[in-house]
Amino acid sequence: MGLRIARLDPARHDRAGFDCGEPTLNRYLREQAGQHQRDGIATTHVLIEEADAARILGYCSLAAAQVNLVELQASDRKRLPHYPVPAVRMARLAVALAEQGHGYGSLLLGHAVNSSLRLREQLGARLLVVDALDARAAAFYRAHGFRETTTAALTLYLPLGKR
């Protein structure tokens, strides 16, 4: 099974057949992801099998963001300027119901981190930030090294390191 992550192509990828069990995430992929991508609001990246490239196993969406300095943990504020910190926001992450439990969420998260690190080389981004859907999702992100902001328990961030 050859897995690959590709940028969403609404003409090629079967958005209507995707079901992760969360209606808001299904609706986003079906109704908004393509438009957001065209309008420069977010990019959506789909996990597919090369043998059946139309079928979406999971997806994540990335967008530009910023985080107010006071929202970071005190240890992460050191040596940062006193204005909003540039970041990448993982706006959505979902895995199809039939594919959950195979580590695809971690694979997509790894893709988001790698994309953020590549972007950091071109533009500058200090954090990967996510607004977790619920406590279960927040636990997933915390298990991958994300930290809670000081203002919202379900908003978490991952420092992208220093060069």
Q: What is the pLDDT of residues 108-159, one digit of tens each?
A: 999 999 999 999 988 889 999 999 999 999 999 999 999 999 888 899 999 9
What are the residue boundaries of the structural domains of the chain, listed by start?
3-159
**Both ends of the chain: CA-CA distance in Å?**
36
Give CATH superfamily name and number for 3-159.
Gcn5-related N-acetyltransferase (GNAT) (3.40.630.30)
pTM of the model: 0.93
